Amino acid sequence: MTLKAIIAGAALALMACASPAVAWDVIGVREVRDRTDRDTIVVEGRRQFERIKLCVYRNPVHFIDVDVHYANGGHQDVSVAQRINPGQCTRAIDLNGDDRNITRVVMFYEETSFRRRTATVRLLAE
């Protein structure tokens, strides 16, 4: 075998083993305060998604509960109960049923910073 054939075979083997990149879209953003609170991220448009996750920036946020509301009037209660540090996200949360049209996501949380500033929460979906 030639060196080119070995390199080409190795490259093909690596590409076959590599997992495809997941394309997450930012579908909503909310500034949250440094106290226990409930906020809503409204999702515009009629797009359908399979999974969501919440990503936190600037200050940590301790999520207590998340409710996902759908266009058909249904909702899904998601127990998060997790502190998310700046630059981190919750796990990928599978939405019940087939691709779902999200209208809003209600978050019950407490920010865990003592600096009296806000944190940014981004809602991502795929």
pLDDT in tens, 62-99: 999 999 999 999 999 998 999 999 999 999 999 998 76
Q: How confident is the model at residue 46 (pLDDT cuts 50, 70, 90)?
A: confident
User: How would CATH label the architecture of 23-125?
Assistant: Sandwich (2.60)
Q: How confident is the model at residue 118 (pLDDT cuts 50, 70, 90)?
A: confident
Contact criterion met (CB below 8 Å) for 41 and 29: yes
Q: What residue has token string 């998601």?
A: 78
Q: Residue 9 burial (CB < 10 Å; 0-12/13-18/19+)? A: exposed
Domain ranges of the chain: 23-125
pLDDT-wise least confident of 11-15, 38-42, 81-85, 104-108 = 11-15
Distance of alpha carbon 102 from alpha carbon 100, whole angstroms: 6
